[in-house]
Amino acid sequence: MAIGAAMPLPLTSPTCRSLTSFTHHPSFSPILKLNSLRETASLGNPHLRLAVVAVSSMSIKAAEKASRASFLDRREARILHFVKYHGLGNDFILVDNRDSSEPKITAEQAAKLCDRNFGIDADGVIFALPGINGTDYTMRIFNSDGSEPEMCGNGVRCFGRFITELENLHGKQRFTVHTGAGLIVPEIVDDGKVRVDMGEPVFKASDVPTRLPANKDESVVKSGLDVDGVTWNVTCVSMGNPHCVTFGTEGDQNLQVDELDLAEIGPKFEHHEVFPARTNTEFVQVFTPSHLKMRVWERGAGATLACGTGACAVVVAAVLEGRAARTCTVDLPGGPLQIEWREEDNHIYMTGPAEVVFYGSVPL
């Protein structure tokens, strides 16, 4: 588990778990000693209980004086320092990996750290590595199951905010980031949100990839997909990672997304034989041409509160099916994202928040 002193941190998102009411600072040695004292005090020594209270108070005051910069600069062996962020409740462990081109931990270690009960608790671990091919930075991510996706929209917004903290930058900032999905450009805008140029969507069936036969040029648009004897109409899009978007079944296009049992239906889409690289799946409800609502089953992470690349894919699919305009608000369980698919450059721009949850250290 993460070790650190806790200080109150007001958060604006109502979707955060109770743990996110604190910021953890890595002054972990006093806390280790404090925990030991508490165990002894439980045996019934009232004087030691008083000592525990005094040490606890001193530890918290000491933690409050320590700076974030000193936290990020620490390099103890066998200790991993991290900052946890969330983008609309899609939560990530961010690791400063700028001194190496390989992640500091393995995929197996990442999966353990992400465990909701026995680890730090996250949807994935993101590493900030040196840039390659002329980019400022490289971003890699391990999902909570240890798999490595090409990209993550909410994750790259958190990545952008993480970089500004590591580099002690302020105001509007823009970075070029190399990812498994190619070049991604996050920009910190005036209101503190992050706008990301997500690049161009990919429609060609073999590039998504999907084995569903193309039915519009080389693309799969509103095509039938049998899942457990039920035919769903799906549109397949790649945002550097594969997405299967559905607005309902063949007989019912008025999908009520809140009524879905994602844990039951999601894995059947993810592991369907027509998706050789598995797929992310978005279930979408249309309110107006500029207002959509989605729930997502993410490849390698399951049901999450938000998926940035998924929101982008949803708007693209809605436009291709004639359901929506190119600029939309997409409601996710964790909150809204603003998505724009520009005609002039064919790029998709995603704008949304990225917020610090807490700072921590964990032994490896």
Active site residues: 152, 307
- CB of 362 within 8 A of CB of 82? yes
- CB atoms under 10 Å from CB of 227, counted, come to 16
Report the distance separating Cα 349 and Cα 309, nearest Å: 10
Report the distance separating Cα 128 and Cα 98, nearest Å: 6
CA 7-337-166 angle, to 5 degrees, is 45
User: How remote is the C-alpha of 100 from its chain's centroid?
Assistant: 22
DSSP H helical segments within the chain, as ranges?
28-41, 46-65, 68-73, 107-114, 153-166, 262-270, 308-320
Of 243, 173, 172, nearest in space to 210 by CA: 243
227's CB contacts (< 8 A; 6+ apart) are 265, 268, 269, 272
State the Cα torsion 160-161-167-169 to the nearest 10°. Answer: 110
**Assigned token pair, 22:** 């604190």
First to last CA, the chain: 10
Of 231, 299, 303, nearest in space to 262 by CA: 303
